[in-house]
Amino acid sequence: MSLQWIELPAEGMLMYEFQHVDGDVVKPHHHQVHQILYALEGQGKITLNGKSSEYSQDRVAVIVPNSEHAIVSDSRLTVLVLAFDERIFDTPMRQELLHPYFGMSQLGKPNPLTGGELRQLLRKMLYEQSSAGKLGAIAMKIILSELLIVLARSLHMQQATDANSLRAERIRHYIDTHYFEIVNAGDIAAKQGISLRYINNIFKEQYSLTPMQYLTDIRIGMAKQMLAETDKDIASICFELGFETVSTFYRIFKDAVQMPPNKYRTLHKMQEPDRSG
């Protein structure tokens, strides 16, 4: 069966396998029904919402009706397709699950635990589809409901993680460009408009450091460079980098480098090659 033409049976659901060979192109198209595409093996690219992304084993694409999409295979690409008409569900199911969580096409790669759960549900659906009769159709509908719930939770968690990564990156950029004026972590939280605890959590998750630890690393790195490459007074370096007092700078520098700033400068100057000749 083609990915570009889908005719559902009376039950309103259909599962089938689609095999792409190297270089296959499924041109941009859309359907009147929902699709869940689960990549069993191989790799390629999928275009959703006008954006092209890598598409490989265990990635899941959820495609809503009338959403244009396309696939290009870089190698043999086997896709398990689950197509369904949303009218098989009652109104609460559509309004509380399908529309809020799957209002637009999206691509995700579930974590191993969720991926295993999805594979088991897909296998169950394949079994029930092969079992003729009304009970098989009812079972498929129940399993599809469970599968959608698992997917909704997985994609929601992925979106939250992606959003947190973006926020952490913005915080890092803010520190990189405002290291000289940040007094404490509260300054960062105030500028970003989010709580201090939240900032610490998402930044540490992304960079394995708190924002203030990262700020210290930035300042100490720049201090080492200034001590080694310039003749600026230590008090001037302290002021330029945003330390409130020289004593604070000395303490933090010594903790980080295991020697005071003046000794670091002396050692570095002694190691410089003689360029006078």
Residue 192: predicted pLDDT: 80
Going 114 to 118 to 121 to 123, the CA torsion angle's sign is negative
Domains 13-162 and 213-271 in one fold: no
Structure tokens at 276: 């006078």
Q: Does domain 13-162 have CATH number 2.60.40.1120?
A: no
- Which has more confidence, 145 or 3? 145
Residue 271: predicted pLDDT: 66
Residue 115: predicted pLDDT: 87
Q: Rounded to the nearest 10 degrees, how much is the dihedral formed by the CA atoms of 8, 13, 16, 22?
A: 80
Residue-wise pLDDT tens digits, 153-193: 888 777 767 778 888 888 999 999 999 999 888 888 888 88
Residue-wise pLDDT tens digits, 78-123: 999 999 999 999 999 999 999 998 989 999 888 887 888 999 999 9
Structure tokens at 217: 């690393």
Interatomic CA distance for residues 267 and 125, integer angstroms? 71
Q: Where are the domains of the chain?
A: 13-162, 213-271
Residue whose tokens read 């896709």:
79
Least confident of 4-8, 201-205, 242-246: 4-8
Judge contact between 185 and 210, C-beta under 8 A.
yes
Interatomic CA distance for residues 195 and 213, integer angstroms? 17
Which residues partner with 108 through β-bridges?
60
Residue 276: predicted pLDDT: 47
Topology at the third CATH level for domain 213-271? Arc Repressor Mutant, subunit A (1.10.10)
- Output the pTM of the full model: 0.61
| pLDDT confidence bin for 277, thresholds 50/70/90 | very low
